[in-house]
């Protein structure tokens, strides 16, 4: 029983991180209707960015948490302005293919510049070691990553649903023609939202740097788990990303504990079951799906 | 608009046809008027072609990859410098291909190298599944294959053949060196975590057997999906029963994920971490601190002695990086092959195989080396290494302290009889 509780806590801790990592995917889909396959590559750029920042300027984890997402925001804005925008009117498949192509390009560019075997990165000072409460043990960093992720998720949710900016953005994507007719410059809002989604991927990447291998390929498999998270939660739903993140984290932890060889399969079994029962995901709206 | 584009395509087509014809002409004239050696050479096509088949874009690129071609070229240069005008192989070419860690790609690339590029020898091939595919081709084409990068014991066991040699290390050697030593030092209770594919299963088998032989016990062997990012719960499970040693059999990115998360877990400091297979590039990419104190078996280390260092300096001058044991082994295998051609005066595969079998070799890579005639496993001294702490590191890539030389006779078990060379 003791170990069951331990596995549960570990699953929840991993889930919080999954929620943040999937959040940008959900925001971009919810607002632009774009399935951004390059999310994994942007997550990788975040982690690589943190490592490069440390190596070249000696700026550690805390500055990286701010600087790297800002750089990726600019990258996202350029990506939307130069590429994604031109395909928005077409079938969503076009942007899916575009971002898939971008992924291959980004991964190979990083491989060319930084090799394949990865970059070193250490734990930020003060977050080393373990926290033990009542026989349960968790790494201090894991707890931090989980709480930090949840705080960011909450903030994004609040901005999108409780502020005027959020209202404009949502209106712009629900019915861009009518919003324009009301005198609102729709394109002015769409571009920063895309940049913001990419910045969130970068933020997750920085957060991953101290406990994941930083390699060009680190996002390639991870993005598949993130897709499972958003599909389970409901594409485009922020609450869905959070709940999906926790569910996937828990299922993965129980899988690792009780059926190690199937630890990853169970995630996708869960996804299949959810899609069969609720095709739009747990918190998705039918028309979005 | 349409007319214009059609015309453009037409022009482009014409240019292409012209170019192809020109190439064809060049090839014909080249073939007819090529260098003639007057029949003195006994080499097919008057030259030696060495095929380097490895991972040139994926996880194993840094530990071998394109830099192994540099090492092979160094062997060719040294061979030519030594023999000068007397060299039997006056022209030696390297052809390279990327097997992308896929057995089917390795299979077709090997076929292409042997058949169309006239490779006399294929080298390297990390990834066990890919290596076994190439060994099958070598047997079918009756051409040489010297494995460096793959660890599976099947190459010199049930799936061995006359034309395949295993040069640097295998999973049994790693197990004997690492598990044998750690159990001997008192780390008797083990839990093993391994990735669930051919290499990981082979490593788990070798290490479990060796721990038991040395007098220890393996509490549990935990299979993990491959590849995997999150090992948190696996690590907790690996701590069940508080073993003295946790052995990880992961490689590449998975190994780095595992060690990072292990170091942040409650197990750090309670159980000793043993790493099944580690390359110096792994230490470089994770940072020496994360691995500090970890013991593992190394087939060769660049900073072991003057002889190794001298070669490593030459390699570094060309690549700006320090060599892994795979780079050194590729050099050693290529040079010994060329010397065998020199001695035999021919590149006939059967003759070369015969001259290599039973040969005792002592070079900077193979210390007390012997090409075992019974199974073509190339045995040599290997080393037990301990990763240095940050303040022990004196220069870039100075990561290992060699604590013990394991003599060839101890490192390699006698052939188990499963290999029938034919």
Sequence spans of domains, chain B: 44-169+302-380, 172-298
Selected residue of A15, A47, A118 to mutate for chain B interface (largest B Cβ count, 10 A): A118
User: B144-182: per-residue pLDDT in tens?
Assistant: 999 999 999 999 999 999 999 999 999 999 999 999 999
Cβ pair B61:A130 closer than 8 A: no
Nearest chain B CA: its distance from A256 CA (Å) = 6
- b/e string for A134-159 if b means 16 or more Cβ within 10 A? eeebbbebbbbbbebbbebbeebbee
Selected residue of B61, B101, B266 to mutate for chain A interface (largest A Cβ count, 10 A): B266
Any chain A CB within 8 A of the CB of B264? yes
Q: Which residue of A has its CA nearest to B66?
A: A115
Any chain A CB within 8 A of the CB of B108? no
Q: Cβ contacts (< 8 Å) between A3 and chain B: which residues?
A: 236, 240
- B129: which 2 tokens? 């599944």
d(CA A226, CA A206) in angstroms, rounded, equals 16
Nearest chain B CA: its distance from A289 CA (Å) = 29
- b/e string for B123-137 if b means 16 or more Cβ within 10 A? bbbbbbbbbbbbbbb
Q: Supply the pLDDT for residue B78.
A: 97
The ipTM assigned to this model is 0.85
Q: Which residue of B has its CA nearest to A140?
A: B264
- Domain boundaries, given as residue ranges, for chain A: 11-113+129-218
CATH code for the part of the protein at B44-169+302-380: 3.40.50.2300
d(CA A64, CA A58) in angstroms, rounded, equals 10
Q: Supply the pLDDT for residue A287.
A: 53
Nearest chain A CA: its distance from B236 CA (Å) = 8
From B336, B406, B400, select the one nearest B364 (Cα to Cα).
Answer: B336
Q: Supply the pLDDT for residue A260.
A: 84
Q: Supply the pLDDT for residue A132.
A: 82
In A170-229, the residues whose Cβ lies within 8 Å of chain B are 210-213, 215, 217-218, 221-222, 225
The region that residue B358 occupies, defined by phi over 0 for left and psi between -120 and 50 for alpha, beta otherwise, is left
Q: Supply the pLDDT for residue A89.
A: 85
Q: Low-confidence residues of chain B, pLDDT below 70?
A: 1-41
From A26, A8, A14, select the one nearest A232 (Cα to Cα).
Answer: A26
In B374-393, the residues whose Cβ lies within 8 Å of chain A are none
Q: Do domains B44-169+302-380 and B172-298 have the same CATH topology?
A: yes
Q: Which residue of B has its CA nearest to A254?
A: B233
- A134: which 2 tokens? 């009542």
Any chain A CB within 8 A of the CB of B253? yes
Q: Low-confidence residues of chain A, pLDDT below 50?
A: 288-289
Nearest chain A CA: its distance from B258 CA (Å) = 8
From A272, A268, A289, A271, select the one nearest A280 (Cα to Cα).
Answer: A289
Nearest chain B CA: its distance from A79 CA (Å) = 26
Selected residue of A8, A11, A117, A123 to mutate for chain B interface (largest B Cβ count, 10 A): A117
Q: Cβ contacts (< 8 Å) between B281 and chain A: which residues?
A: 117
- b/e string for A26-51 if b means 16 or more Cβ within 10 A? bbbbbbbebbbbbbbbbbbbbbbbbb
Q: Which residue of B has its CA nearest to A215?
A: B253
Q: Supply the pLDDT for residue B207.
A: 96
Cβ pair B234:A260 closer than 8 A: yes
- B346: which 2 tokens? 């021919």
Q: Supply the pLDDT for residue A125.
A: 86
Give just the sign of the alpha carbon dihedral B400, B404, B405, B410. negative
Cβ pair A117:B62 closer than 8 A: yes
Q: Cβ contacts (< 8 Å) between B285 and chain A: which residues?
A: 115, 117-120, 213, 215
| Residue B76 CB partners (closer than 8 Å, separation 6+) | B50, B92, B94, B334, B338
Cβ pair A211:B290 closer than 8 A: no
Q: Supply the pLDDT for residue A101.
A: 96
Candidate from B233, B253, B266 with C-beta closest to A257: B233
- B177: which 2 tokens? 């060196």
Q: Cβ contacts (< 8 Å) between A265 and chain B: which residues?
A: 225
Is domain B172-298 given the CATH code 3.40.50.2300 in the classification?
Answer: yes
Candidate from A10, A218, A263 with C-beta closest to B253: A218
Cβ pair B266:A118 closer than 8 A: no
d(CA B154, CA B149) in angstroms, rounded, equals 14
Task: Name residue, tokens 């008192």.
Answer: B186
The region that residue B193 occupies, defined by phi over 0 for left and psi between -120 and 50 for alpha, beta otherwise, is beta
């Amino acid at each position: 029983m003791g170990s069951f509780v331990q596995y549960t806590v570990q699953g929840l801790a991993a889930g919080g991180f999954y929620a943040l990592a999937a959040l940008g995917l959900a925001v971009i889909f919810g607002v632009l209707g774009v399935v951004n396959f390059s999310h994994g590559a942007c997550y990788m750029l975040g982690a690589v960015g943190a490592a490069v920042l440390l190596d070249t300027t000696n700026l550690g984890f805390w500055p990286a948490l701010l600087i790297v997402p800002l750089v990726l925001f600019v990258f996202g804005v350029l990506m939307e302005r130069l590429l994604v925008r031109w395909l928005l009117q077409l079938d969503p498949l076009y942007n899916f293919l575009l971002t898939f192509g971008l992924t291959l390009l980004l991964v190979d560019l990083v491989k060319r510049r930084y090799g394949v075997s990865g970059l070193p990165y250490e734990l930020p000072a003060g977050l080393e070691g373990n926290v033990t409460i009542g026989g349960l043990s968790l790494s201090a960093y894991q707890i931090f990553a989980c709480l930090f992720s949840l705080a960011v998720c909450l903030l994004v949710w609040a901005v999108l649903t409780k502020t005027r900016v959020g209202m404009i953005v949502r209106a712009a994507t629900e019915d861009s023609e009518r919003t324009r007719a009301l005198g609102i410059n729709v394109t002015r809002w769409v571009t920063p939202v895309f940049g913001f989604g990419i910045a969130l991927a970068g933020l997750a990447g920085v957060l991953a740097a101290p406990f994941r291998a930083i390699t060009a390929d680190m996002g390639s498999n991870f993005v598949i788990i993130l897709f499972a998270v958003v599909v389970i939660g409901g594409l485009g739903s922020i609450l869905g990303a959070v709940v999906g993140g926790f569910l996937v984290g828990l299922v993965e932890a129980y899988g690792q504990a009780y059926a190690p060889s199937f630890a990853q399969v169970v995630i996708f079994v869960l996804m299949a079951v959810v899609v069969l029962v609720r095709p739009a995901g747990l918190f998705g709206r039918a028309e979005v799906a | 608009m349409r007319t214009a584009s059609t015309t453009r395509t037409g022009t482009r087509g014409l240019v292409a046809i012209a170019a192809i014809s020109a190439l064809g002409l060049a090839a014909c004239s080249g073939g007819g008027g090529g260098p003639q050696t007057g029949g003195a050479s006994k080499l097919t096509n008057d030259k030696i072609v060495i095929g380097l088949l490895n991972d040139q874009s994926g996880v194993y690129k840094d530990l071998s990859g394109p830099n192994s071609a540099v090492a092979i070229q160094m062997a060719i240069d040294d061979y030519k410098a030594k023999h000068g005008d007397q060299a039997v192989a006056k022209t030696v070419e390297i052809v390279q291909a990327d097997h992308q860690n896929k057995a089917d790609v390795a299979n077709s690339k090997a076929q292409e190298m042997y058949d169309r590029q006239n490779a006399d020898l294929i080298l390297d091939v990390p990834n066990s599944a890919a290596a076994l595919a190439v060994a099958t081709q070598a047997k079918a084409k009756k051409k040489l294959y010297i494995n460096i990068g793959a660890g599976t014991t099947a190459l010199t066991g049930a799936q061995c053949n006359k034309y395949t040699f295993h040069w640097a290390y295998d999973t049994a050697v790693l197990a004997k060196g690492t598990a044998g030593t750690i159990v001997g030092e008192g780390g008797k209770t083990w839990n093993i975590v391994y990735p669930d594919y051919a290499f990981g299963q082979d490593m788990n088998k070798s290490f479990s057997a060796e721990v038991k032989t040395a007098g220890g016990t393996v509490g549990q062997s935990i299979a993990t999906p491959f590849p995997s990012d999150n090992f948190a719960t696996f690590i907790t499970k690996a701590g069940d029963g508080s073993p003295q040693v946790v052995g990880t059999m992961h490689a590449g990115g998975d190994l780095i994920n595992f060690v990072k998360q292990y170091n942040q877990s409650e197990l750090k400091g309670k159980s000793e971490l043993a790493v099944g297979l580690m390359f110096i590039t792994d230490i470089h990419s994770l940072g020496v601190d994360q691995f500090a104190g970890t013991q593992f078996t190394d087939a060769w280390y660049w900073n072991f002695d003057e002889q190794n260092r001298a070669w490593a300096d030459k390699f570094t001058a060309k690549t700006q990086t320090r060599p892994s044991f795979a780079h050194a082994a590729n050099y050693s295998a290529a040079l010994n092959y060329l010397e065998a051609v020199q001695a035999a005066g021919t590149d006939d595969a059967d003759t070369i195989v015969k001259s290599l079998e039973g040969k005792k070799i002592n070079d900077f890579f193979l210390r007390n080396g012997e090409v075992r005639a019974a199974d073509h496993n190339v045995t040599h001294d290997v080393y037990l290494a301990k990763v240095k702490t940050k303040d022990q590191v004196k220069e870039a890539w100075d990561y290992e302290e060699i604590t013990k030389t394991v003599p060839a006779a101890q490192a390699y078990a006698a052939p188990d009889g499963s290999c029938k060379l034919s």
